A and B are shown apart, each in its own frame.
Chain A
Amino acid sequence: MRRYFNIIAAYSIMLFLIIIVGIFQSWSIALSILNYCLISAVMTMGANIQWGYAGLINFGIMGYTALGGLAVVLVSVAPVPEAWSAGGLNIIGSLILIISLVLIVRFFLKKYKNHKYKNYFITFSIIFGVILIRFVAFPGIEAIEAVNPAKTGFLGGLGMPVLFSWIIGAIFAAGLAFIVGKIALGLRADYLAIATLLIAEIVVSIIKHEDWLARGVKNVIGLKRPVPYEIDLQTSPWFINFVEKLHQGKLNLLSSVSDKKDMLNQLVIDASSVYVKLCMTGLFLSVVIILLILTQKALYSPWGRKMRAIRDNEEAAGAMGKNVVKEHLLIFILGSAIVGLAGAMMVTNDGLFTPGSYRPMRYTFVIWVMVIVGGTGNNFGAILGGFVVWFLWVEAGPIALYLINFFTTHLDETNALKVHLIESAPYFRFLMIGVGLLVIMRYRPKGLIPEKINVKKI
């Protein structure tokens, strides 16, 4: 029990903080912070698997998150039949062309390994293929984008339940990770970081600018939800009765009927948003718990020991007959799949897909700060890091505002310095996160809850 004391203490403090937000700001805000904390926790678990278990540095988290989000759109949105009839054939045609191009290049690489003109063949076929694809795809894309551009202008999705898309998001991310891993995993650590960062940027820019796929920067809004909608709740009688019962005492204090009705209305509206968020929290929490159990089991299995051995000494592990390259690729794919899952969860939570909002600052570096702050190689630590950093990220603005007001009370309201500081309060979050990271790196390089490895003493 004593071993887990600091973990339990840390989590109770975190819960306490969220409850404080609930009391002082509103329960709706507290719950949405909690939801985002849970999503961040999933992301950090993904990153932690890569960095903590295997020592692979992946700065491409943004790309996998975006792919997960894309999966939600492609799976859950209803298909747009007009667009399919307008340009579907062209798109399918160009997809077939792309696949055959890849196959041709592979064929050349395999069959004519030592041929003199091998590279010329490949270059020629790629250039020719790209031109052909452009000719096939371009009219299709224009036709699709012309279909009702204000509302659709894209192919739509499959119209399946949104929960299904979480799995698809993970698979998408895993596929990308396979390609990236094949290209970049042989590189040294900081090269790998840069390469993954740039590849993620390519992925996001493709999602942003291929409007036929998911409307690009025009965003997709009104995505399906796995939980009820507020509007439906507000009109359903059982929910209204439930809220009435919950606030019986408060309502009885009011005398007039109309007052009572207004009050009840307000309460129902508040309660419906809380209820929806609670449902989401339940879903996310179950995902986090399932993942936590799986990752903990993996960490203490023979496979986990092997990963640690590879992380701590690649050459020795290789000499013992472990296939380092294969294991690295596997863990890269696993971690990225979890990040993709988190991306899908996030888009589901928001109900909208905005490719323009995927920026390396928010989706790569902040996640990395979470992993480092929480504790590398320790799943409890990673989840805690997700909670702490996200909480700071959201609440830094209000805290900074409070501090500024506190320290400048002796200045008058129109003082230029005070006004300027209050205006720039939101940017103090960068300062807090940065300073926090530097302090942790310096004085607790293993994070808040460091990695613990049980070794039996002989």
Chain B
Amino acid sequence: MPAITYGSQLALGAIFVTLIYGVLRFANFATGDMMSFGTMFAVLLTYYFQSAGVGLGFLPTALLTLPLAILAMILYMLFIDKFVFKYYRISKSAPVQLAMVSVGVMFVTQAIIRIIIGPFDRRFMDGEKFILKASEFKEMTGLSEGLTIKSTQAITLVVTIILVSTLFWFLNKTKTGTSMRAYSDNEDLALLSGIDPKKVVMITWIIAGFLATVGGVLYGLDKSYKPFVYFNNMLPIFAAAIVGGIGNPYGAFLGGYVIAFAEILVTYAYKKFFIYLLPKFLEPDSLVQLLSTDYKFAVSFSILVIVLLFRPSGIFEGKKI
């Protein structure tokens, strides 16, 4: 269950990276901080709503503030695009140069976040914590092991399903989505057939704003909000995007789950598992982890290296490299 939750959060980020890469053609190093920026608005608005006494009952208030945060995020992204990225896009700079520019954006975004909200750890989750507590589950089923479902996990799942299915519907079925895919496949041909590049870029940033904010808020609800952690999350997100085949949204979506499951499977403590499986005298006395949890990040990156070695374009064909 944690794997699915974490995977959904990664998947949203990975689709974000992949969309920017596909349509705007550069690796966006500001990913983590953009997610953090959107979440910051949600956190601040949540505090404001809480003080005003507005809430959603058993659901976290953050869900109410989400649309406003998305709006702020989209405005910020369009602002950045207009003043920073547009110049390089029009002068057709090399992708590396755009990547370096995104590093600059990363610095600025990080500074703004820290100046506004500070670098501290914040929890903004309210409402009901658990949908299903371990003890309740035991009572219900009569099994001796508990199973808990945190409400954030359920929320993450539901929101991700809604958002991702809408996104794929949009990309495949609507005219704008098709034009976006055309632009990403072959820019010149798309321009010839009368697609407006400005509109495509704008729509991409708007979608990116949705994905970044929702992904960030979900992660923040599940764990907590800390700018530094968000910056670090950029790395597994990149790993997920590349593993899935960069430039390919479906690949990125699955890549997120691949990374999350691998991390959890490798660092999971198998002690209980073996206790049930093996006779008494073989019972292990340590935690029986393949690797200690310290190596969580390292695992996902090793997967990336292996994928790069054997299938450089990702598990699901992405862009040519």
Contacts and interface: CB of A to CB of B under 8 A. Distances in A.
The reply to whether chain A is a binding partner of chain B is yes
B85 to A, nearest CB: 10
Nearest to B319: A188
Interface in B107-131: 107-112, 114-115, 118-119
Interface stretch (B45-53, B216-224, B296-304): B296-304
Given A188-B321, A202-B298, A438-B108, A194 B27 contact: yes
B108 A198 contact: no
Given A183-B308, A368-B100, A427-B114, A194 B108 contact: no
A204 to B, nearest CB: 9
B242 interface: yes
Given A193-B27, A437-B103, A438-B104, A430 B295 contact: no
B31 to A, nearest CB: 11
A369 B96 contact: no
Given A57-B96, A205-B298, A437-B107, A187 B101 contact: no
B207 to A, nearest CB: 21
A83 interface: no
Interface in A389-447: 421, 423-424, 427-431, 433-435, 437-438, 441-442, 445
B103 A430 contact: no
B87 interface: yes
Contacts of B106: 365, 434
A184 B304 CA distance: 11
A228 interface: no
B111 A427 contact: yes
B239 A198 contact: yes
Contact of B115 (A184, A360, A361, A427): A427
B305 A183 contact: yes
A190 B20 CA distance: 13
Given A190-B95, A430-B108, A438-B104, A201 B298 contact: yes
Contacts of A186: 312
A372 interface: yes
Contacts of A189: 94-96, 99
A442 B86 CA distance: 11
B295 A205 contact: yes
A80 to B, nearest CB: 23
Interface in A231-289: none
Contacts of A17: none
A195 B304 CA distance: 8
A431 B108 contact: yes
B135 to A, nearest CB: 35
Contacts of A372: 100
A252 B27 CA distance: 66
B203 interface: no
A191 B95 CA distance: 11
A208 interface: yes
Contacts of B99: 57, 189-190, 193
Nearest to B246: A191
Interface residues of A, number: 43
A190 B305 contact: no
A6 B56 CA distance: 63
A434 B106 CA distance: 7
B108 A190 contact: no
Contacts of B301: 198-199, 201-202
Contacts of A431: 107-108, 111-112, 115
A195 B308 contact: yes
A206 interface: yes
A163 to B, nearest CB: 32
Contact of A197 (B94, B235, B294): B235
B318 to A, nearest CB: 10
A209 B295 contact: yes
Contacts of B178: none
Contacts of A430: 107-108, 110-111, 114
B97 interface: yes
Given A188-B321, A195-B304, A431-B108, A183 B95 contact: no
Contacts of A360: 235
B26 A190 contact: yes
A423 B117 CA distance: 11
B304 A445 contact: no
A445 B238 CA distance: 27
A360 B297 CA distance: 14
B292 interface: yes
A191 B103 CA distance: 15
B264 interface: no
Nearest to A210: B294
A365 B103 contact: yes
Contacts of B238: 194, 197-198
A435 to B, nearest CB: 6
Nearest to B116: A424
Contacts of B155: none
A187 B235 contact: no
B195 to A, nearest CB: 25
Contacts of A193: 27, 96, 99
A202 B302 contact: yes
Contact of A428 (B97, B111, B246): B111
Given A202-B297, A434-B109, A434-B111, 19 more contacts: A57-B99, A184-B308, A190-B26, A193-B99, A194-B238, A194-B242, A195-B304, A198-B304, A202-B298, A202-B305, A206-B298, A209-B292, A421-B115, A424-B114, A428-B115, A434-B108, A437-B100, A438-B105, A438-B108
12 contacts: A183-B308, A189-B95, A189-B96, A193-B99, A198-B301, A201-B301, A205-B298, A209-B295, A428-B115, A430-B107, A430-B108, A434-B106
Interface of B: 26-27, 29, 84, 87, 94-97, 99-101, 103-112, 114-115, 118-119, 231, 235, 238-239, 242, 246, 292, 294-295, 297-298, 301-302, 304-305, 308-309, 312, 321
The 10 nearest A-B residue pairs measured at CB: A434-B107, A430-B111, A431-B111, A434-B108, A427-B114, A437-B104, A198-B301, A190-B27, A209-B294, A438-B104
Interface of A: 57, 183-184, 186-191, 193-195, 197-199, 201-202, 205-206, 208-209, 360-361, 365, 368-369, 372, 421, 423-424, 427-431, 433-435, 437-438, 441-442, 445
